[in-house]
Structures are given as C-alpha cells and as structure tokens.
Amino acid sequence: MCINTHQARLLANTEADFESAKDLLATRLTAGHGEILVRIGALPLLQKLFSREDIDSAHGWGGVERTQEEVRFFKNSLQRVAEEIGGKAALLSDIAGAHPRAYFLVRLPPPDASSTAEVRCAIVGNVDSGKSTTLGVLTRGGLDDGRGLARVALFRHKHEIETGRTSSVGMEILGFDTESRPVLPDTSSSKDPEALRREKLSWEEISVRSAKIVTFIVDLAGHERYLKTTLYGLTSGAPSCVVLMVGANAGIIGMSKEHLAISLALSVPICVCITKIDMTPGNKLEETVKQVDKILRSPGCRKTPVYIDSTELAVAASQAFAKEKIAPIFQISNVTGQGLNHLRMFLNLLPSSEDDTEKFDATKPLEFSVTEVWSVPYVGTVVNGIVNSGSVKTGDAILLGPDANGQYLPTVVKSMQRKRADVLGAEAGQTVALALKRTRRAAVRKGMIIIHKTDTPPRAIRRFEGQVLILYHNTTMQPNYQAMLHCGAVRQTVRILSIDHPQGLLRTGDRATVQFEFISRPEFVKKGMKLLFREGKTKGLGVITNVL
C-alpha cells in the first residue's frame, strides 16, 4: 500500500503535519485490520521486479523519487507515529542505490486472541520432499542437522517416529509479533531431540505473544495411500495458500503432480519451496528449477514463476500473490538456513484468511463447517471448524446437522477457544473450537454445519447436479459408478445417477453435467461449491450447479 500523503506529511517535519499523519495512519490501520504495508521512494514495475533483471537500470519507475536522507528521516518519523498510536513500524527492507526506497510494516497488537489475524497455509509434496523438516525449522527456529533433527517435534504417532514419515493431518502454528519477528521457543538452538519435543511453546503462549498467526495444515501426507487425508485437508481447511515442497535432488515426482492439480482445481494460490539445495549438485538443482518452471508455465497451470532471492521480492510477491497469476519460488536449505528468511517474510506479509470477502461474508447468517470432533473430559463434545459466514459467540442457541435423517439438533455454545486460547466470539473466516452443551459425541460427525437457531433450517441434500471434468480414468464412467466425493468438509461416497453426454459415459478429458446421489445420508451442500471425486487417485473435479 503506497501512502504518498503520509510521505509528504511526515517529511514536512511540522507538528501539525505529524498529527495529521497520525490520524491518517490510525484510519488506515483500522481499515487494514491492524496492519498496513508502507513504502517510501520510487516503485519498480512488478514485471521488471519479477523478471530478475537489473532493476536499477530498468525504466518505467513509479512513485516519487526520494534521497537516502529523506528515507532515513521518514523511517524515524513513521516509527514515532506508530508508537504514539500503540503500534510498531518494522523496517522490512532498506535499499540504497540509484533509487533509494524502503518498505515498512506498521502493525497494532490485537486486543485479544479472537482478533489475531490468521493465514491458513497447506503444506503439500511428495514423500521425502522436506515438508516436516521445513515446518520444524520454521516453527521451532533451530536449523536441521541433516539427519532429521528438526522434524522430530512434529511426529504424533509411534509409527511416525519409527519410520520418520508423517501420515496424519494436524496443525502447526507460527506467530509473528508487532515488530514482524517470529515467535519462537527459547530452545530453538538446542540439539537435543527430547528437549525439542518437550520444551516447545504452547499454542496459548504463541497466541498471547503474536499479532499474526500462520496456521500450517500439516502434514498433508506425501504417500499415495494417504491421498484421502490430503484431499480432506485441502477441501475442508479453506487454505489461503498452498506451499508445494519439491526436493531439489528429486524434482516434481509422484504425488507432487497430484497435489498441484488438486490445488489448481480448488483455485488456491500456489508457491513452491525447492528444498535440500545444500546437498544437491549444481547441475541437478538447475534441472529441477527448469522442470518446476516448465510445469508452472504449462497450459494446465498458467502461472508466472517468480524466484524470490531478496527481501524486496518477498514483500512484492506477498502483495501480488493472490491477485496476479504468479507462483513465488523459494530455494531453501534447512541445514544452512539459506532462503528461510525470505520465506518467513513472505508468510508474515500474506493477507489474513478472514480478509477474503469472496469466500467469507460476515454480513450473512451464521454457517460453521465442522472439520474435527472430540470428546473432552469435564467439557463434553467439542467441534472445530471454520466460520464460513456470520458470527458466533458464547451462549448462542444453535442448530447442528444434518443428521442421518436430515434433521438438525438444537444445542448451545457453552464455551469457545481459538488456537487453544479462550475467546468469547468468532467471525467469518476464522477457525474456532466450540464446546456444545448436552450433545453426545456420537451425534456429531465431520461435514455437519452449525447455524443459529431458526424455524426454517437449510434443507439436507441427497441428490445434486454438477458440471465435472474427468482428470483421469483408465476405462469409462457410467451410471451407477461410485466414488468418494470431497466437497468442503463433506466426505462421502456418491453414486452417478445420470450423465448428460452424447455417449452416455465419461472418459479421461471429458466434460459433462452429472447427477450424483449420496449413498449413506443427506448432506448440506450448496450451489457453487467445488467438488472433487476419486477412486484411488483423483478422478474428477467440478462445481455444483444445482441441488435436487
């Protein structure tokens, strides 16, 4: 966000201009949900910046040229203004040369845990691509030793510790404070695996100390047998960003292509992390980079690769990521730390998930998707999920459903937690856990929704119509064909009732309007929702065009 008015007033060096700048900054921070990006100096064209040319010699600069002295004076003034309104102005990048310029992030501390901005990122990639190690390094702070030290703290099950491979979908969080520093445990430099597993920051501590939280949907397992786990994480978690991990020594192989196709089908912005660059020969790394570049530019992806090797590029890519068809590429080493600061900077500056007004609307009635269910001792049944629209608060009378008969169960929100910190309310776009009053665990399942109590709850759907594209099938799909359907938090087997196609059947590459029927029970689905169906590997994708 360029604020030329701020530049002029803060550089004027008068008390009246200073007060006026303070009022303007407070207004912008309110509109920006507590954080804004401020730039001073000339602005290079994005195409030039992303093309890896010599920027200082390029033409077509925008903005107002400033001297190095003006940039330095602006920094001091901005930091003073930010502190007087209760925030911090962190210097992200200060660039000298022919066109002096600087980037700042002004951020206010959230009033409570319910107001903390959140970015949801899904981590995908093939087996041994470095997903768990990268997450361990990002969230724990210490570097890897080349033998799996960093990922030890992420393992949840005995078989994961024994095999060194993850198989479960969970959550890991990385917090950033008001000065854009990552919130990390004191044991980040420890080399003791048990200390790393035992002495990590709790989610409550991270929530209290953070002004922004990046939630990683982990670990969307790389093995083919766990594809259903990956699909559920991508469809139900509503990520704002997919991070595709690619081992520099292997390239895009196996399930990586499947994960990339799913992310594109769901229209989720994608960035790529090429890992293990410290142990990969130069010629093999170059080969992997060319392969990634070729796949991203292919007709199926239509993305412009942007290689992030500077802080300025990381800042620019974070702002253009969701709007432009770019795919940032980070080359990182979890052993030497190369490239990790650029990745952290990029994640820190991504717009929060709740700011996506196309997905989430706070003005509509409450709709909460249940993605996880637990039974907690002395608390009762607890559901976790995403507020798709509206808002919910403690004490609200709600309806939970649909059940096997398409009915809704009345209950009350007893208490709420966000990132394991107690909160009183949540709004559209936020993930939150609700404790339900007098509700049996057996009566709740993933895929249900929660709405405010009403005499006319939404109808549970048994049959619906969708426009689909068949990605891959080795024979033909005909009426009565069955597959597992993923649609938001809904995961259930469906049967094809009819196919609107000249041949009456479907093969790889075909498009058609298809009528589906849920086999086990009715579900809540809506027109416009994206769907994926599979039998083994992903078979098809589409969008619901009508409910019957």
**Is pLDDT larger for residue 226 or for residue 162?**
226
Per-chain mean pLDDT for the chain: 87
On the question of pLDDT at 150 being above 60, the answer is yes
Distance of alpha carbon 272 from alpha carbon 255, whole angstroms? 15
Distance of alpha carbon 272 from alpha carbon 260, whole angstroms? 10
For residue 443, the tally of other CB atoms under 10 A from its CB is 16
DSSP 523: B
Question: Which contacts of 84-89 are long-range, i.e. CB under 8 A and separated by 24 or more positions?
Answer: 84/22, 85/22, 85/25, 85/26, 85/29, 87/29, 87/178, 88/178, 88/179, 89/38
What percent of the chain stands above pLDDT 70? 88
Distance of alpha carbon 410 from alpha carbon 486, whole angstroms? 26
Domains and CATH numbers, the chain: 4-107 (no CATH), 113-355 (3.40.50.300), 367-452 (2.40.30.10), 463-547 (2.40.30.10)
What pLDDT was estimated at residue 270? 95
Amino acid sitting at position 331: Q
The two tokens of residue 37 are 């990006």
Distance of alpha carbon 72 from alpha carbon 85, whole angstroms? 21
Amino acid sitting at position 108: L
What pLDDT was estimated at residue 219? 47
- Among 12, 206, 221, smallest CA distance to 116 is for 206
What pLDDT was estimated at residue 535? 82
Distance of alpha carbon 177 from alpha carbon 88, whole angstroms? 10
Distance of alpha carbon 228 from alpha carbon 225, whole angstroms? 8
For residue 426, the tally of other CB atoms under 10 A from its CB is 26
Q: Tokens 């922004």 correspond to what residue?
A: 212
Distance of alpha carbon 218 from alpha carbon 143, whole angstroms? 19
Q: Tokens 């040319």 correspond to what residue?
A: 53
**Is pLDDT larger for residue 464 or for residue 253?**
464
Beta bridge partners of 275: 247
Compute the Cα dihedral for 261, 266, 271, 277 and give only its sign: negative
What pLDDT was estimated at residue 167? 45
**What mean pLDDT comes out for the span 53-66?**
73
Confidence of residue 192 (pLDDT cuts 50, 70, 90): low
Q: How remote is the C-alpha of 408 from its chain's centroid?
A: 31
pTM comes to 0.91
Beta bridge partners of 523: 461
Question: Which tens digits make up the pLDDT trace of 124-141?
Answer: 988 888 888 898 899 888
- Could you report how far apart the first and last alpha carbons of the chain are, in Å? 46
Compute the Cα dihedral for 414, 419, 425, 426 and give only its sign: negative
Confidence of residue 536 (pLDDT cuts 50, 70, 90): confident
**What mean pLDDT comes out for the span 141-163?**
64
Q: Tokens 């995908």 correspond to what residue?
A: 124
On the question of pLDDT at 518 being above 50, the answer is yes
Beta carbons of 20 and 27 less than 8 angstroms apart: no
Compute the Cα dihedral for 420, 354, 141, 220 and give only its sign: positive
Q: Tokens 């890991």 correspond to what residue?
A: 172
On the question of pLDDT at 504 being above 60, the answer is yes
Distance of alpha carbon 450 from alpha carbon 43, whole angstroms? 47
Quick one: which H or E segment has residue 4?
helix 4-12
Beta carbons of 352 and 212 less than 8 angstroms apart: yes
CA dihedral 236, 323, 356, 43 (to 10 degrees): 140
What pLDDT was estimated at residue 408? 96
Distance of alpha carbon 441 from alpha carbon 77, whole angstroms? 56
Reduce the DSSP state of residue 291 to 3 states and report it. Answer: helix
What pLDDT was estimated at residue 113? 83
What pLDDT was estimated at residue 3? 47
Q: Edge-to-edge, what's the strand order for the sheet holding 101-107?
A: 62-63, 35-43, 101-107, 88-95
Question: Which tens digits make up the pLDDT trace of 21-47?
Answer: 888 888 888 888 899 999 888 888 777
What pLDDT was estimated at residue 247? 95
What pLDDT was estimated at residue 159? 47
Quick one: which H or E segment has residue 83?
helix 68-84
**What mean pLDDT comes out for the span 267-292?**
95
Question: Which tens digits make up the pLDDT trace of 331-379?
Answer: 999 999 999 999 999 999 999 998 888 889 999 999 999 999 999 999 9
**What mean pLDDT comes out for the span 265-269?**
90
- Among 513, 517, 529, 512, smallest CA distance to 482 is for 517
What are the DSSP calls for 363-408, one per residue?
TSPPEEEEEEEEEETTTEEEEEEEEEESEEETT-EEEEE--TTS--
Beta carbons of 216 and 233 less than 8 angstroms apart: no
Backbone Cα Rg of the chain: 25
**What mean pLDDT comes out for the span 228-247?**
88
Reduce the DSSP state of residue 61 to 3 states and report it. Answer: coil
What percent of the chain stands above pLDDT 90? 58
What pLDDT was estimated at residue 116? 92
Reduce the DSSP state of residue 163 to 3 states and report it. Answer: helix
Reduce the DSSP state of residue 465 to 3 states and report it. Answer: strand
**What mean pLDDT comes out for the span 384-397?**
96
Amino acid sitting at position 94: D
The CA-CA-CA angle for residues 400, 235, 251, to 5°, reads 160
Distance of alpha carbon 275 from alpha carbon 338, whole angstroms? 10
Phi and psi at residue 409, to the nearest 5°: -100, 125
Distance of alpha carbon 437 from alpha carbon 451, whole angstroms? 15
Distance of alpha carbon 403 from alpha carbon 401, whole angstroms? 5
- Lowest-confidence segment of 1-5, 30-34, 479-483 by average pLDDT: 1-5
On the question of pLDDT at 271 being above 90, the answer is yes
